[in-house]
Chain A
C-alpha cells in the first residue's frame, strides 16, 4: 500500500471516529470499510493516534469502552469549562465508587454480596449507580428470594477510560500499593 492510499485510509478512519456516536469498534470499522487488510488498518489507526497526540492538537484519539473515540486533552480542561460555563464536573461519591469497585471485581454480584463485602447496606448506592447507567442488571440469582444480579456496563468502561475489564487495576498492582503503604507505616 502506497503513501497516498495510507493517507486516504487514515482520513476515512478519522471521519468514522468523528461521526460515531459510541466508541468506534474495530468490528464496526471492518463492517464499514469492507476488505482492508488487518495490518493496514492497525497501522493507519496507530498513525492517526500518533498524529493527534502531537503538540498543536487539542483533540486526541483514545481507546476506551471497547473502541476508538475523540476526546479533548486533559490539559485544556479549563478552557472547555470556560466555554461551557461549568465550574466543576461532579465526581462519584466515596460510597458510590466503593460500591462500583466491589461490583467491578466481584461481578456478577448481588446487592447482599456487595453489602457484605463493604460492611454497609449498599441498596442506595446500587440504585444510584443504576440510574447513572454505570452498572446494569443482568438477571436473577437462583438463590432464596431470587435476588437481582449486577454487572458493570459499557458506560462504566468509558467513564474510567478503560478499554475492557482486563484494564482494571490488577491484583498485583493493588498488592504492590498495599506493600508500599505497609513500608511507610512501619
Chain B
C-alpha cells in the first residue's frame, strides 16, 4: 500500500504498463482511464491540487491537452470525455463573468463538479478495497458440484431469475418469428385458461419442458400468453422454474408447498 500510494495509487499497474521506456514522466494514454472523471482526478493529483478549490483555468487546459493528443476522436468512447470538457469550459466561463455581488459559497459553479469528483473518488477507493477482497477470495476454492438428488420436486437446482427467463424468451421468439408473418388467427387466448392448462398439466405430469410446450402452441399469440402465464406463476411462487444453463430449456415444477393454492379459472379474480 505504501508504495502504491506514491503517485496514482489506484491505478499503479496501468501507469507502469503505459510507459514502455518512453521516459517523459506521466504520459498516460487516454485509453488507460476508465472515464473522464478518472482522468480529471488523475490531473488534480498530479498537480497536487486541493479538490475543493480547483483552479479551473489550469485544470481545463491540462484536460484539453490530453484530449488534443489524440489524432482522431473515437466518438463512441470519447463523447463522455468531451462532455466533461465542455462542462469544465462552462464552469470556467461562469467564474470569469462579473457578478453584482460577491458570490456566496454555495453559489460556487464548481460545486457540482466537486461533489461528483468526491463521490467518484470514494467509489475508486471502494473498488480497490473490493479488488483486494476478490484477490483473496479467488485463492479460496470451494466445491461447486452438487450432491446427487433424486426426485425432481426435491431438486434445488438454481432457480432461474426473471432475467434468465426473458433471455430465453427472446431466443424462442426468434425461432417463431417467421411464422408470425404468415399466420393470422382470430382465436382469442385467455390468460386464465392458459394458467389453468399449465397448472393442470403440471399436476398431472409433475413437470414440463417449457421450450417444448412453447413450441407446441398453435399460434404466436398463444405462445406469448403461455410465457406471460409462466412469468405470472413464477412471480406468485406457485411454480419453480429451473434452467441448468443459460439458453437451455426451462423445466417447470409446481411448488410442493404451494399446491393447495387455487389458481383455477376466472373465478379467482
Which residues does A use to contact B, with CB under 8 Å? 19, 21, 60, 62, 64, 69-75, 77, 80, 89, 91-92, 94-95, 97-98, 100-102, 104-105, 117-121, 130-131, 133, 136-137, 159-162, 168-169, 171, 173-174, 177-178, 180-181, 184-186
Q: Quick one: closest A residue to B40, CB to CB?
A: A119
> In this assembly, does B48 line the interface, its C-beta being within 8 Å of a C-beta of chain A?
yes
Cβ 8 A contact of A120, one of B34, B122, B135, B147: B34
Q: Which of A105, A118, A121, A178 has the most CB of B within 10 A?
A: A118
A73 touches B140 (CB 8 A): yes
B66 to chain A, nearest CB (A): 15
CA distance A132 to B5 in the complex (A): 31
Number of residues from B at the complex interface, CB < 8 A: 43
Assess whether B120 is in contact with A161, with CB atoms less than 8 Å apart: no
Tell whether, in the assembled complex, residue B36 and residue A98 are in contact, meaning their CB atoms are under 8 Å apart.
no
Q: Which residue of A lies closest to B143 (CB)?
A: A70
* A160 CB contact (under 8 Å) in B137, B143, B147: B137
B161 touches A136 (CB 8 A): yes
- CB pair B127–A117 under 8 Å, yes or no, is no
**For B123, what are the chain A residues with a Cβ–Cβ distance below 8 Å?**
98, 101-102, 105, 117-118
A118 touches B34 (CB 8 A): yes
Contact A72 B141 (CB under 8 A): yes
For residue A167, which residue of chain B has the nearest CB? B133
On whether the beta carbons of A100 and B5 are closer than 8 Å, the reply is no
Q: Shortest 9 CB-CB distances between A and B: which pairs? A: A120-B35, A74-B139, A71-B140, A77-B139, A119-B37, A169-B129, A72-B141, A101-B126, A160-B133
Known: A159-B137, A162-B133. A130 touches B126 (CB 8 A): no
Q: Kindly list chain A residues whose C-beta atoms are within 8 Å of the C-beta of B84.
A: 119
Given the known interface contacts A101-B130, A119-B36, A160-B133, the answer about A177 and B139 at a Cβ–Cβ threshold of 8 Å is: no
* B258 interfacial contact with A, CB 8 Å: no
